[in-house]
Structure 1
Amino acid sequence: MIYILLSICCSVTVAVLLKLGKRYQISIIQAVTINYLAALTLCFLFFKPEVKALNAGAPWPIYIALAVLLPSIFLFLAASIKNLGIVKTDIAQRLSLFIPILAAYFIFNENFNSLKIIGLLIGFPAIFLTFLRKSNQLKNEKGNWIYPVMVFIGFGVIDVLFKQIALYKTLPYTTSLFTVFCLAFLVSLVIVAFMVITGKTKIQLVNLACGLILGIFNFGNILFYMKAHKALAENPSTVFAAMNLGVIIVGSLIGIIAFKEKLTRLNYAGIILALAAVIFITLSQNVVR
């Protein structure tokens, strides 16, 4: 369980760092760029990817799609945390698991059992209640709802694409992960270079330092999550449940206690339903179809 706890800590720390980015006026795109440089370097050191095994037959369209999506969604993640807080953003990110579940049914013809259906039915009102705001908040934060929606959709699509990579058995998954990080770094670098040339941003050491720390914790989340699955290979649903529930609970506590994020009673009801949805979906994985 130590790996699960470490993965949860790393995941929530990434959200906290993005939250603090607003306070210290960090350039998120610069931090995200260095984040991927740090992640691909650590990926190379820890996983020893078989780079020479890459060829024209590799799933390059998926790699490229992920390379564009990852930094883009990272920016929406930062904007969502900045405008709506850690609690709601973490829930949007965790409930994005509904998208690969629906993709499994509609695209890959996977059968659904009653527990998974219940989890989905609980999950959608959970999303609605979590992001429900008072009328005065709606006036002050008009348009901000787009950020968690993009986080929800983006992370869901990214999950589907990574699952497609996992099905490609010719290359080790870690090699594909390294390739995606490399391409994501290049895409982010192009964006930063364009912004510097056009005078929209300036390279600052604080952004690079923040990006390095962000990359370490971002990679730590992936590393410990994979180690948890390896250590508990016979109980993958345990890892799945503990990770998602843990991030929602810890993220909510930090958001409410440390950053004084204000939630209504309906928002709290949404959090409870979100936890219930994850539990039902996890239980559904243990049911023999």
Structure 2
Amino acid sequence: MYFILLSIICSVFVGVLLKIARKKELSIYQIISWNYVFALISLLIFYNPKINTSFSLPTGIITGSLIFLLPIIFVFQAKAIKYSGIVKTDIVQRLSLFISISFSLFVAKEVFNSYKIIGLVVAFIAIFFTFYKKHQTETNQNKSYYLLFVLCGFGIIDILFKKVATIGDLSFTELLLLVFSGAFIVSLLISGYNISQKREIFSIKNLYWGILVGVLNFGNISFYIKAHQSLSSNPSTVFIAMNMGVILLGSIIGILYFKEKLSKLNYIGLLLSLVSIALIAFSQFN
């Protein structure tokens, strides 16, 4: 379970940095591009993987899908926040858990014991309570499809990382070498488009933020894959614990650092997140 904890910490602080960067009016697109450079450098330093281009067609499809989805989902997320707000975007991002759990049940044929079923039910109640707001602004209906892209994108990425953990013809470090390299090229094209066509200004400040985001992104993904490898027969444990952990830690940072105000229902949601994680952890021993 400690791989999940480390992945949660890295994931939350990636979000924290991007939130601060957005307030400072830095370029999220340029930060994303630099992020993959330093995620790749971190991979080379810690694992020194060798280039392996000998793999099966299914592995190539998974690799190619991750190369395009990882940077593009950042763009969809930024668009969803712009048009629908952070709260609604966070809700649909966490509701992508439905897609991951459906995969575990119907494709991976995982057997759920009673503790995990109760933990799953509590998790979804926690998601609703944690992000509930009494007064919400109306979603821009013409751009609400970005929320659907976020929902599907994060759910598919979760499933692909589960498949990565079970691939036999590529080690996860070899696959990450290909994914980070390819994702950098895709993100560079997106960033270049915004600079050339939308007159976005290139700034060296984005490089500094990209270093921090890249190192944390590398940690998030590598620990997440290791969690799936160590719990290969229980993918739902990783899916649920990761989502609940991100909600819990992210909310704590939001309260203490960003001084965000929560309602009583929000606090109930945080408590239920703890209960859900405890049930899921306990289900591993039964």
Q: What TM-score does the superposition give when structure 2 sets the normalisation length?
A: 0.79
Q: Give the equivalent residue in structure 1 for 2:86.
A: 84
1:74-97 deviation digits (Å, cap 9, x = unpaired)? 334556778436xx94x8656644
Q: Find the counterpart in structure 1 of residue 275 from structure 2.
A: 276
The unaligned stretches of length 5 or more in structure 2 are none
| SS of the residue 1:138 aligns to | coil
**What secondary structure is seen at the aligned counterpart in 2 of 1:52?**
coil
Measured in 2, the distance between the counterparts of 1:256 and 1:165 equals: 35
* Match in the other structure for 1:37: 37
Q: Distance in 2 between matches of 1:147 and 1:264?
A: 27
Per the alignment, residue 267 of structure 1 pairs with 266
Secondary structure of the residue aligned to 2:137 is helix
Kept in 2: contact 1:18–1:81 (CA 8 A): no
The worse-fitting range, judged by mean Cα deviation, of 25-34 and 164-173 is: 164-173
2:128 aligned residue: 128
Alignment CA distance shift 1:267-1:5 (3 Å) = closer
* Conserved? CA contact 1:118–1:280, under 8 Å: yes
Q: In the TM superposition, what are the counterparts of 1:10-21 in structure 2 within 5 Å?
A: 10-21=10-21
- 1:198 Cα deviation (Å)? 1.3
Percent sequence identity over aligned pairs: 44
SS at the partner of 2:49?
A: coil
Give the root-mean-square deviation of aligned CA atoms: 3.6
- Provide the rounded CA distance (Å) in 2 between the counterparts of 1:16 and 1:31: 13
Contact 2:52–2:174 (Cα < 8 Å) also in 1: no
User: Where does residue 54 of structure 1 map in the other structure?
Assistant: 54
Give 1:120 deviation, angstroms.
Answer: 2.1
Q: Residue 106 of structure 1 corresponds to which residue in structure 2?
A: 106
Which residue in the other structure is 1:116 paired with? Answer: 116
Residue ranges of structure 1 left out of the alignment (5+ in a row): none
Task: Tell me, in whole angstroms, the C-alpha distance in 1 between the residues paired with 2:114 and 2:39.
Answer: 39
Q: Residues 19 and 78 of structure 1 are in contact (CA less than 8 Å); yes or no, is this contact kept in structure 2?
A: no
Distance 2:140 2:131 in 1: 13
Is contact 1:95-1:274 (8 Å) kept? Answer: no
Summarize the alignment of residues 223-234 of structure 1 with structure 2, pairs less than 5 Å apart: 223=222
Asked whether the 8 Å contact 2:172–2:225 carries over to 1, the reply is: no
In structure 1, C-alpha distance between the alignment counterparts of 2:241 and 2:283, rounded to whole Å:
15
- Kept in 1, the 8 Å contact 2:94–2:127? The answer is no
The equivalent of 2:201 in structure 1 is: 202
Give how far 1:175 is off. 0.7
CA distance in 2: counterparts of 1:107 and 1:59, whole angstroms: 17
